[in-house]
């Protein structure tokens, strides 16, 4: 029986450790040829070490799969172009890009430095855009030449962006931007045979181990394992997923869900006198669903005091 991603050629960014490593191993186990991209930097983006990417390649080859390592920065324009070309040169084509690379520099808004904002936005938002741009250009040209295209962009966003979490204004802003990018890119690329989706993972990794209480039991640790994120990403990279686009999936050891986007809530006719808006706005807000908390449930968002 053919594997789910048999013959698919997939790039995974940030694939040397954590969630990205699980993606790469799962995709390879399902028959994909994988480009393992990773700078090997620290959680804050500093430093660099290509050995994690090479280690994942070795793991894939040990299981009988095919993979190559790539150390380009996804937020560098020329590096992103080289990354896409790596897949084409190594395996002759490209079917999916999993944008997973990221860093973390949490700080409250009033204490944030400009450099911290720029670094997080650059890696997450530009690091999603740049590889996607060159992949989509490749697929568009193939489509215009009359060649078959069945492409996938799979972005990594976060519940911090779609629901909101204190201390993560810059990180959350980037993740919300990725969710919007996903929706719009899906519209733009539909005519070329390309789907664009995103996954908001919750898992215990280098990036998240300091954000909450440590797991107290083996069961808790297993529930927070990054391996729970890989199945939906692997399926989205397959041919089976061609009818699904423009969606954000939440994935963890607790749940697999579709996050629903912004919708228009209670409404009234336009008002041209601001002095009359007090009771009108109060009524609209009272009728509207409460903002969701980090658990995705309406009403969980902290209310102003």
Residues serving a catalytic function are 171
Q: Chain centroid to CA 242: how far?
A: 18
Question: Order of strands, edge to edge, in the sheet holding 248-251?
Answer: 67-70, 33-37, 9-13, 96-99, 151-156, 194-201, 248-251, 256-259
CA-CA distance, 224 to 218, in Å (whole number)?
Answer: 10
**122: CB partners within 8 A, 6+ apart:** 75
Q: How many CA atoms lie within 13 A of 173 on its CB side?
A: 17
Question: What are the Cα distances from residue 267, in Å, to 7, 90, 101, 136, 262?
Answer: 50, 55, 40, 38, 14
């Amino acid at each position: 029986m053919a594997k789910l991603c048999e013959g698919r050629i997939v790039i995974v960014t940030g694939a040397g450790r954590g969630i990205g490593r699980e993606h790469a191993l799962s995709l390879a186990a399902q028959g994909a040829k994988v480009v393992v991209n990773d700078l090997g930097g620290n959680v804050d983006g500093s430093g660099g070490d290509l050995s994690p990417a090479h280690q994942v390649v070795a793991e894939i080859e040990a299981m009988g799969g095919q993979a190559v390592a790539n150390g380009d920065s996804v937020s560098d324009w020329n590096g992103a172009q080289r990354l896409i070309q790596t897949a084409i040169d190594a395996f002759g084509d490209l079917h999916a890009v999993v944008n997973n690379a990221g860093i973390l520099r949490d700080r409250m808004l009033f204490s944030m430095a400009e450099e911290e904002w720029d670094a997080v936005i650059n890696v997450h938002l530009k690091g999603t855009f740049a590889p996607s741009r060159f992949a989509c250009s490749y697929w568009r040209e193939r489509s215009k030449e009359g060649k078959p295209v069945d492409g996938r962009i799979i972005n990594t966003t976060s519940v911090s962006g779609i629901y909101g979490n204190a201390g993560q204004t810059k990180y959350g802003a980037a993740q919300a931007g990725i969710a919007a990018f996903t929706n719009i890119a899906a519209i733009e690329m539909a005519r070329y045979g390309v789907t664009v989706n995103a996954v908001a993972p919750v898992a215990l990794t280098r990036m998240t181990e300091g954000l909450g209480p440590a797991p107290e039991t083996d069961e808790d640790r297993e529930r927070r394992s990054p391996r729970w994120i890989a199945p939906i990403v692997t399926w989205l990279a397959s041919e089976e997923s061609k009818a699904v686009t423009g969606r954000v999936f939440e994935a963890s050891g607790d749940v697999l869900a579709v996050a629903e986007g912004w919708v228009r809530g209670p409404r009234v006719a336009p008002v041209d006198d601001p002095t009359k808006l007090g009771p009108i706005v109060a009524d609209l807000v009272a009728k509207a669903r409460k903002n969701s908390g980090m658990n995705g449930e309406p009403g969980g968002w902290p209310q102003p005091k």
